[in-house]
Structure 1
Amino acid sequence: MRALSVVPQRPDSLKIVDLPDPVPGPGELLVRGVAVGVCGTDKEIVRGDYGWAPPGRERLVLGHESLGRVVRTVEGAGFREGDLVVGVVRRPDPAPCGACARGEFDMCRNGRYTERGIKEIDGYGSELWCVEAEYAVALDSSLGRTGVLMEPTTVVAKAWEQVQRVGERAWFEPHRALVTGAGPIGLLAALLGTQLGLEVHVLDRVTGGPKPELVRALGATYHADSVDDVAKRLQPDVVIEATGAGSVVFDAIANTASYGVVCLTGVSPRGRSLTIDAGAVNRELVLENDVVLGSVNANLRHYHQAADALAKADHQWLERLITRRVPLSRYAEAFHGGEDDVKVVIDLEETS
Structure 2
Amino acid sequence: MRALSVRRRGDAGELVLGDVPEPLLEDGEILVEAVAVGVCGTDREIVAAGPRRPPEGRDALVVGHESLGRVLEAPATAGVAPGDLVVGIVRRPDPVPCPFCATGRFDLCENGRYTERGILGRDGFASERFRLEPEYAVRVDPALGLAGVLVEPASVVAKAWEQLDHAARRPPRRALVLGAGPIGLLAALLGTQRGLEVHVVDRVAHGPKRRQAEALGAIYHTSTDQLDGVFDAVVECCGALVAEAVARTAPGGAACLVGVGDIRSAGTVDLAALTRDLVSGNKIVMGTVNSNRCHFEAGHDALRRAGAAWAGGLLTGQVGLEAWSGAFASDPGGIKSVIRIGS
TM range, smaller chain: over 0.9
Determine the structure 1 residue equivalent to 2:299: 306
Which residue of the other structure, out of 222, 235, 244, is the alignment partner of 1:240? 235
Residues in 2 aligned to 1:130 and 1:263: alpha-carbon distance in whole angstroms: 33
Cα displacement (A) at 1:49 = 5.6
- Equivalent residue letter for 2:76: E
Would the aligned equivalents of 1:8 and 1:48 in 2 still touch at CA under 8 Å? yes
- Aligned AA for 1:238? A
State the Cα distance separating 1:301 from its structure 2 match: 1.1
Residues in 1 aligned to 2:226 and 2:268: alpha-carbon distance in whole angstroms: 21
Please state if 1:129 is matched with 2:137. Answer: no
Query: Residue in 1 aligned with 2:221?
Result: 223
1:130-169 equivalences in 2 (<5 Å): 130-167=131-168
1:274 pairs with one of 264, 267, 277? 267
Tell me whether 1:251 sits opposite 2:249 in the alignment: no
Q: Matched residues in 2 for 1:270 and 1:101: separation?
A: 36
1:68 aligns with 2:69: yes
Amino acid at match of 1:128: R
Letter matched to residue 330 of structure 1: A
Supply the distance in 2 between the matched residues of 1:230 and 1:176 (Cα, whole angstroms). 15
Cα deviations across residues 101-158 of structure 1 (Å, max 9, x unaligned)? 2111111112111000010000000010001010010011111111000110000000
Aligned-residue Cα RMSD (Å) equals: 1.7
Match of 1:7 in 2: 7
The 5-angstrom pairing of residues 60-209 of structure 1 reads 60-167=61-168, 170=169, 172-209=170-207
Question: What runs of 5+ residues in structure 2 fail to find an aligned partner?
Answer: none
SS at match of 1:182: coil
Note if contact 2:35-2:342 (Cα within 8 Å) is conserved in structure 1.
Answer: yes
Give the share of equivalent positions with the same residue, in percent: 51
Q: Secondary structure at the match of 1:97?
A: coil
1:296 match: 289
| Alignment partners' CA distance in 2, 1:182 and 1:60 | 30
Preserved CA contact (<8 Å) 1:321 1:343 = yes
Give the Å deviation of 1:242. 0.3
User: Structure 1: 5+ residue runs without aligned partners?
Assistant: none
- For 2:163 and 2:332, the matched residues in 1 are separated by 33
- Alpha-carbon separation, structure 2, partners of 1:177 and 1:345: 29
Q: 1:266 to 1:224 in 2, by over 3 A?
A: same
Shift in Å at residue 257 of structure 1?
A: 1.6
8 Å CA contact 2:243, 2:265 repeated in 1: no
Q: How many equivalent pairs are there?
A: 342
Structure 1 residue 280 displacement after superposition: 2.8
Deviation by residue 1:219-244 (Cα, 9 ceiling, x = unmatched): 1110012x2x245x231111000010
Does the 8 Å contact 2:239/2:265 carry over to 1?
no
Summarize the Cα distance change of 1:8–1:152 in structure 2 as closer, same or farther, 3 Å threshold.
farther
Q: Secondary structure at the match of 1:331?
A: helix
TM-score in terms of structure 1 length: 0.93
Return the letter of the residue paired with 1:342.
I
Task: Give the conservation status (yes or no) of the 8 Å contact 1:163–1:261.
Answer: yes
Q: 1 CA distance for matches of 2:342 and 2:143?
A: 18
SS in 2 for 1:75: coil
Rate the CA distance shift 1:45–1:240 in 2: closer, same or farther, 3 A. same
> What letter corresponds to residue 136 of structure 2 in structure 1?
Y
Q: Decide whether aligned partners of structure 1 residues 324 and 116 sit closer, same or farther in structure 2, where only a CA change above 3 A counts.
A: same
Aligned to 1:52: 53
Report the alpha carbon displacement of residue 272 of structure 1 after superposing the two structures with TM. 6.8
- The separation in 1 between residues aligned to 2:266 and 2:194, in whole angstroms, is 36
> 2:283 and 2:298 mapped to 1: Cα distance?
26
Deviation at 1:339, TM superposition (A): 4.8
